[in-house]
Amino acid sequence: APGPYDAGQVGEGSGREATVTLESRAHEYAAYLEQVKRRIEQRWRYPLLAQERGLAGKLTIEFAIRRDGRLTRLHLADSSGVSILDDAALEAIRLAAPYAPLPEVMGLDRLNIIASFEYLGGLSRLRGGS
Protein backbone atom coordinates (compact mmCIF):
# COMPACT_ATOMS: atom_id res chain seq x y z
CA ALA A 1 0.00 0.00 0.00
CA PRO A 2 1.31 3.47 -0.81
CA GLY A 3 2.80 5.35 2.12
CA PRO A 4 2.39 9.03 2.95
CA TYR A 5 5.39 10.02 0.84
CA ASP A 6 4.55 8.25 -2.40
CA ALA A 7 3.96 10.03 -5.70
CA GLY A 8 1.24 12.65 -5.93
CA GLN A 9 -2.29 12.43 -7.22
CA VAL A 10 -3.25 11.41 -10.74
CA GLY A 11 -3.48 14.43 -13.01
CA GLU A 12 -1.14 16.46 -10.83
CA GLY A 13 1.15 18.64 -12.93
CA SER A 14 2.47 17.58 -16.31
CA GLY A 15 4.79 14.92 -14.94
CA ARG A 16 7.99 16.83 -15.73
CA GLU A 17 10.68 15.49 -13.45
CA ALA A 18 14.42 15.01 -13.19
CA THR A 19 16.62 12.70 -11.13
CA VAL A 20 19.90 13.96 -9.68
CA THR A 21 22.33 13.07 -6.91
CA LEU A 22 22.45 15.40 -3.94
CA GLU A 23 26.00 16.35 -4.93
CA SER A 24 25.10 17.33 -8.51
CA ARG A 25 27.01 20.39 -9.70
CA ALA A 26 24.79 20.93 -12.75
CA HIS A 27 24.17 24.68 -12.81
CA GLU A 28 20.38 24.38 -12.82
CA TYR A 29 20.33 22.25 -9.64
CA ALA A 30 23.46 22.97 -7.56
CA ALA A 31 22.23 25.95 -5.51
CA TYR A 32 18.89 24.33 -4.72
CA LEU A 33 20.49 21.00 -3.79
CA GLU A 34 22.90 22.78 -1.46
CA GLN A 35 19.89 24.25 0.41
CA VAL A 36 18.28 20.81 0.62
CA LYS A 37 21.51 19.27 1.92
CA ARG A 38 21.89 21.96 4.61
CA ARG A 39 18.29 21.44 5.82
CA ILE A 40 18.85 17.69 6.13
CA GLU A 41 22.25 18.04 7.82
CA GLN A 42 20.73 20.35 10.45
CA ARG A 43 18.34 17.55 11.44
CA TRP A 44 20.51 14.47 10.94
CA ARG A 45 22.10 12.91 13.99
CA TYR A 46 24.36 9.91 14.54
CA PRO A 47 22.25 7.98 17.05
CA LEU A 48 24.01 7.90 20.41
CA LEU A 49 23.25 4.21 20.91
CA ALA A 50 24.84 3.46 17.53
CA GLN A 51 27.93 5.48 18.42
CA GLU A 52 28.26 3.75 21.79
CA ARG A 53 28.07 0.35 20.11
CA GLY A 54 30.51 1.33 17.37
CA LEU A 55 27.91 0.80 14.65
CA ALA A 56 28.87 2.11 11.23
CA GLY A 57 27.43 1.89 7.75
CA LYS A 58 26.51 3.53 4.50
CA LEU A 59 23.04 3.78 3.01
CA THR A 60 21.34 5.33 0.02
CA ILE A 61 17.97 7.06 0.09
CA GLU A 62 15.90 8.21 -2.85
CA PHE A 63 13.38 10.97 -2.23
CA ALA A 64 11.39 13.45 -4.26
CA ILE A 65 10.39 17.05 -3.77
CA ARG A 66 7.32 18.49 -5.48
CA ARG A 67 7.23 21.87 -7.15
CA ASP A 68 5.69 23.38 -3.97
CA GLY A 69 8.51 21.97 -1.77
CA ARG A 70 6.57 19.08 -0.29
CA LEU A 71 8.21 15.68 0.16
CA THR A 72 6.34 13.22 -2.07
CA ARG A 73 8.49 10.12 -2.04
CA LEU A 74 10.91 8.62 0.46
CA HIS A 75 12.56 5.27 -0.21
CA LEU A 76 15.48 3.43 1.38
CA ALA A 77 17.23 2.24 -1.79
CA ASP A 78 20.23 0.57 -0.15
CA SER A 79 20.26 -0.21 3.57
CA SER A 80 23.30 0.09 5.81
CA GLY A 81 22.21 -3.17 7.37
CA VAL A 82 21.67 -1.36 10.69
CA SER A 83 18.07 -0.23 11.14
CA ILE A 84 18.86 2.47 13.72
CA LEU A 85 21.19 4.16 11.20
CA ASP A 86 18.73 3.82 8.32
CA ASP A 87 15.90 5.21 10.48
CA ALA A 88 17.92 8.25 11.59
CA ALA A 89 18.67 9.23 7.99
CA LEU A 90 15.07 8.73 6.85
CA GLU A 91 13.84 10.77 9.81
CA ALA A 92 16.20 13.64 8.97
CA ILE A 93 14.73 13.90 5.46
CA ARG A 94 11.19 13.84 6.90
CA LEU A 95 11.99 16.49 9.52
CA ALA A 96 13.64 18.76 6.95
CA ALA A 97 10.40 18.94 4.95
CA PRO A 98 8.84 21.00 3.62
CA TYR A 99 11.65 22.21 1.44
CA ALA A 100 11.82 25.43 -0.56
CA PRO A 101 9.66 25.35 -3.71
CA LEU A 102 11.49 24.22 -6.82
CA PRO A 103 12.83 27.22 -8.74
CA GLU A 104 10.66 28.10 -11.75
CA VAL A 105 13.76 27.99 -13.98
CA MET A 106 13.90 24.21 -13.42
CA GLY A 107 10.51 23.82 -15.10
CA LEU A 108 9.84 20.66 -13.08
CA ASP A 109 6.88 19.24 -11.23
CA ARG A 110 9.12 16.93 -9.21
CA LEU A 111 12.83 16.62 -8.46
CA ASN A 112 14.02 13.11 -7.57
CA ILE A 113 17.12 13.10 -5.40
CA ILE A 114 19.55 10.28 -4.57
CA ALA A 115 21.59 10.77 -1.39
CA SER A 116 24.15 8.66 0.44
CA PHE A 117 24.50 8.80 4.20
CA GLU A 118 27.65 7.48 5.84
CA TYR A 119 28.24 6.75 9.51
CA LEU A 120 31.82 5.94 10.47
CA GLY A 121 33.57 6.02 13.85
CA GLY A 122 31.25 8.58 15.42
CA LEU A 123 31.27 10.82 12.35
CA SER A 124 28.53 11.18 9.77
CA ARG A 125 28.67 12.40 6.18
CA LEU A 126 25.94 13.17 3.66
CA ARG A 127 26.77 12.94 -0.05
CA GLY A 128 25.21 12.43 -3.42
CA GLY A 129 24.23 8.93 -4.49
CA SER A 130 26.89 6.28 -4.94
Q: What is the pLDDT of residues 45-102, one digit of tens each?
A: 999 999 999 999 999 999 999 999 999 999 999 999 999 999 999 999 999 999 999 9
CB neighbour class for 85 (10 Å; exposed up to 12, middle 13-18, buried from 19)? buried
Considering all CA atoms of the chain, what is the largest pairwise distance in Å, rounded to the nearest integer? Answer: 48
> How many whole angstroms separate alpha carbon 40 and alpha carbon 35?
9
Nearest partner of 17 among 111, 103, 104, judged by Cα: 111
> How many whole angstroms separate alpha carbon 3 and alpha carbon 128?
24
- pLDDT tens digit sequence for 13-42: 457 999 999 999 999 999 999 999 999 999
What is the percent of the chain where pLDDT is above 90?
A: 78
Confidence band for 5, pLDDT divided at 50, 70 and 90: very low
- State CA 103 to chain mean position distance: 18
pLDDT at 4: 44
pLDDT at 8: 44
pTM of the shown model? 0.84
